[in-house]
Amino acid sequence: MSTVAPAVPSYASGTSDVPLLGDTIGDNFDRTVAAFGDREALADCATGKRWTYTELAVDVDAVAFGLLGLGVGKGDRVGIWSPNCAEWTLVQYATAKIGAILVNINPSYRVHELKFVLNQAGIRTLVAAPSFKTSDYAGMIEEVRPECPALEDVILMGHEEWTALASAAVDAERLAEIGRTLTADDPINIQYTSGTTGFPKGATLSHHNILNNGFFVGELCNYTEADRICIPVPFYHCFGMVMGNLAATSHGSCMVIPAPAFDPEATLKAVADERCTSLYGVPTMFIAELSHPKFDDYDLSSLRTGIMAGSPCPVEVMKQVIDRMGMTEVSICYGMTETSPVSTQTRADDSVERRVSTVGRVGPHIEVKIVDPETGLTVPRGVPGEFCTRGYSVMLGYWEQPDKTAEAIDRARWMHTGDLAIMDSDGYLNITGRIKDMVIRGGENIYPREIEEFLYTHPDILDAQVIGVPDERYGEELMVWIRMREGAEPLTAEAVREFATGKLAHYKIPRYVHVVDEFPMTVTGKIRKVEMRAKSVELLGLEDAANIKHA
């Protein structure tokens, strides 16, 4: 009598001989300083300033004491609103040392988004750049300040208040005493993810979450104190502050900031001048660097590794990064803010085919499974389903939103990502789509509902449905289908942009506008966004972009 072998389930756990770190970010940082004090820790290319680990520790402690002097204590929320700069890094480690919770604020935010985050997180102290490009941060802060009762202190970088904060006298024994009151499981960071209900949710992360994720991402990149990591990705994302800064400081590596915001030539120059061994980016950044007219002018021979993540990675771009940039050990990572962020990663010893066509295998000390979204049961390998992950990396929850937390994390502590994935027989994963209709534009997670809610405030718009359409540069671009009120003139893309500019972050403003009488609907009355997307590809002639292969 023959029997059929049971199918292998889509489940994998990351084994490792290296144990999880059990310390706080401050203790881990101090350990690195003791081991590698004379080695370079931070280079800020825009200002020309650089720090050894010993010098960085002195400045971090001063900022920590400056915050204590303002009355900031354990559990208080300190906001940071700025492009990438050395001050951002100082505040990141200073808040960790005193147990304050750092709240990352997207530099693209405008007034209504800023006010929401300040109030939702109850930010007590805000450190901000006075301005950057077209953003008048100081002006926007003053505009919302009367409506933010928790906000006591605003520290503008480069102004007297920052100088005072950063030059505070340090009592080393008191700092050590505070350190002994902190635990690795304390919340230390809130990062806002675009909200499906119209407003962002604050993913709350602990020392244990982000220190270990940074450390193990760095382990899989084989980082040592000899590595120099070029970080053009934003610090307000996990990509910059965790995979970049914490991966570096947990290995004694050097953090290199090429520019305040992404600039392809500044990035290439930083790699060449600073002899970087690792380079980070979302696919759009690598595309911009590879296509830059001066690409061949820069010596990138120091590069060994790096990370491409943040949105689907085109296979051809990955191959060029290996061949033309010399990043033979480049890694693809997959994750989300709520998981600190990385859940899967390719390894340096994976075949090129694996590294250009999958998002890798489960990370150390993490579990992943693929489940049927309807039943919650684990599907066999080779069958698509929802990607779920569990382990040290799963956030504590959404800040003061237990209901939203319960929707995302089940009773067994599995984080339900909402992404559709497939696991092959060797445990490698591909991301095949999203259960919900989140759009990932150039590494930015955008929830259409938030933009739709905003567009409903336009007097001539009856209904608006936002979708993602394929884009060769950004992976996806935003398009809105609009139904106009009776008698109103059809809106153009320019008119929508004009209405949204200054109110929505630039990356949330739809590039394409299509005015219709009706939306395609199911028999039960649900709008068929899948059909809208297919029609839009045809309408806009985006077939080539739609056919680009991704991992």
CATH number of domain containing 78: 3.40.50.980
pLDDT digits (tens, 9 = 90+) for 332-389: 999 999 999 999 999 999 998 898 889 999 999 999 999 998 899 999 999 989 999 9
- CA of 64: how far to CAs of 11, 51, 101, 205, in Å? 43, 17, 12, 20
Closest CA to 190 of 106, 121, 239: 121
Please tell me the distance from the alpha carbon of residue 388 to that of residue 421, in angstroms, as a whole number. Answer: 9
The pLDDT score that the predictor gives to residue 196 is: 43
Tokens of 520: 């395609």
Answer yes or no: is 253 within a domain.
no
Answer yes or no: is 389 within a domain.
no
Domain that holds residue 128: 23-183
Under DSSP, the state recorded for 328 is T
Closest CA to 23 of 203, 214, 227: 214
Answer yes or no: is 171 within a domain.
yes
CB 354 within 8 A of CB 361: no
Answer yes or no: is 137 within a domain.
yes
Answer yes or no: is 62 within a domain.
yes
Please tell me the distance from the alpha carbon of residue 540 to that of residue 163, in angstroms, as a whole number. Answer: 52
The pLDDT score that the predictor gives to residue 75 is: 98
Answer yes or no: is 68 within a domain.
yes
Question: Of the residues 156, 183, 210, which one is the last residue of a structural domain?
Answer: 183
The pLDDT score that the predictor gives to residue 523 is: 56
The pLDDT score that the predictor gives to residue 198 is: 57
Over the chain (551 residues), the average pLDDT of each successive run of 10 is 79 97 98 98 98 98 98 98 98 98 95 95 98 96 98 98 96 96 98 71 98 98 98 96 98 98 97 98 89 96 95 81 96 96 96 88 98 93 95 98 96 94 96 77 82 89 90 93 92 96 94 94 69 93 85 67
Answer yes or no: is 227 within a domain.
no
* First-last CA distance in the chain: 42
The pLDDT score that the predictor gives to residue 197 is: 47
Question: Of the residues 183, 209, 226, which one is the last residue of a structural domain?
Answer: 183
Answer yes or no: is 268 within a domain.
no
Please tell me the distance from the alpha carbon of residue 364 to that of residue 356, in angstroms, as a whole number. Answer: 21
User: Residue 419 in 3-state DSSP?
Assistant: strand
Domain total in the chain: 2
The pLDDT score that the predictor gives to residue 3 is: 67
CATH number for the domain including 462? 3.30.300.30
Please tell me the distance from the alpha carbon of residue 44 to that of residue 47, in angstroms, as a whole number. Answer: 6
Under DSSP, the state recorded for 243 is I
Please tell me the distance from the alpha carbon of residue 505 to that of residue 81, in angstroms, as a whole number. Answer: 14
* pTM, 2 dp: 0.86
Beta-strand relationship, 11-13 and 366-371: antiparallel
Please tell me the distance from the alpha carbon of residue 72 to that of residue 90, in angstroms, as a whole number. Answer: 16
Question: Of the residues 123, 153, 183, which one is the last residue of a structural domain?
Answer: 183
Tokens of 508: 């949330």
> Which residues lie closer than 8 Å to 114 by C-beta, 6 or more apart?
81, 105, 140, 141, 144
The pLDDT score that the predictor gives to residue 439 is: 86
